[in-house]
Amino acid sequence: MSLRITLASACLLLTTSATAQETSVRPHPVPAAPLWLAYSAAPGPGDGNHIVLVAADQEYRSEQSLPMLARILSASHGFHCTVLFSVNEDGQVDPTRKIRWQDETVTHRVPGLAHLEKADLVIWFSRLITLPEESMAHVYRYLDAGKPLIGIRTANHGFIGFDYELDGRRIDFGNDVLGGAFRNHYGRWHQDSTRASVVPEHSGHPVLRGVTDVWGPSDVYRTYPEGKSLPEDCTPLLMGQPLTGRQPTDPPNEKLIPLPVAWVKPWTGRAGQTARVFHTTMGSAKDFESAGLRRLVINAAYWCLAMEDRIRPDASVEIVGPYEPLPSGFNYEELGVRPRTVESYR
């Protein structure tokens, strides 16, 4: 009996040691702090690559959806994740802050943007924020670094005051970096929903692996002028059909043709380094209740990092921990949206 216990203990020690070695090869590069959330990678195909997620919108509850994605990416896929937030003067996550179109004195604060330098991938979800020059400098350096980027929904109009030039030309973050900027709500804002379908000629793209059903209660964005199309360097992956209501069983609005709601493209910054970019105009916190949309974005993380050989169509995209997203909108008091501590979103 004692021999069996000794052998079992030895095996446990070896297993624990091997696991410790596996998870300590690349420790989380960002120290824990009260103003952001850090999630350490469990063993997994992500190999401890570091993803920084920036939640800084006022309408679509990115402060809820991005920590949820970070939990899945770290616990189920082996990525280190750091979630940064737009915070107020008290250091609270505050989606209710105004933008400069409403108050010319407003400047937004996203602590931890210096950690973009330690990121292998950034998932960006802001809406019309105005950052100080020293904060924007971190964004510009990332765009120059040849490292990949995922933009979600309002990221294509993510800034007021984006001052980046390339070859003497002013660059627009939405149109030039992500491949399309918000022009209008295609259909009825906060009344329609979106049923997305795979673009047949690109159905074999790795980002679409295992993606079979994508629906969300947010509406379709128009990102290019009527009569035009996505830029030539964009590869459309999903087309979004507006529905006549906000339920997945509602019929399509036959007066509106589908428009692209997800695509991939390259981006080359001032240093001449080319990066992979994925953008989806879907992505409200309620949209992410769709397992198909979660799979799409998680697949995109692998693809952006040139790890598409590790994308499994049956990999888990199940939500880790509680997730009860609030509806989109600006009627904050009615929706229960208020400043909260960073830790409350863990």
What is the structure's pLDDT at 83?
98
What is the structure's pLDDT at 188?
86
Q: Are 343 and 63 in contact (CB under 8 A)?
A: no
Per-residue pLDDT of the chain in tens (346 residues, 90 and over written 9): 333 334 334 333 333 333 433 444 589 999 999 999 999 999 999 999 999 999 999 999 999 999 999 999 999 999 999 999 999 999 999 999 999 999 999 999 999 999 999 999 999 999 999 999 999 999 999 999 999 999 999 999 999 999 999 999 999 999 999 999 999 999 788 899 999 999 999 999 999 999 999 999 999 999 999 999 999 999 999 999 999 999 999 999 999 999 999 999 999 999 999 999 999 999 999 999 999 999 999 999 999 999 999 999 999 999 999 999 999 999 999 999 999 999 999 9
Instruction: For the chain, list the domains and their CATH numbers.
Output: 33-184+262-339 (3.40.50)
Backbone φ and ψ for 294, nearest 5 degrees, come out as -60, -45
- For the record, the structure tokens of 312 come out as 């499994």
Q: Which amino acid is at 94?
A: D
Residues 6+ apart with CB under 8 A from 142: 116, 117, 119, 122, 149
Buried b or exposed e, range 138-150, using 16+ CB within 10 angstroms? bbbbbbbbebbbb
What is the structure's pLDDT at 25?
55
- Distance from C-alpha of 256 to C-alpha of 219, rounded to nearest angstrom: 12
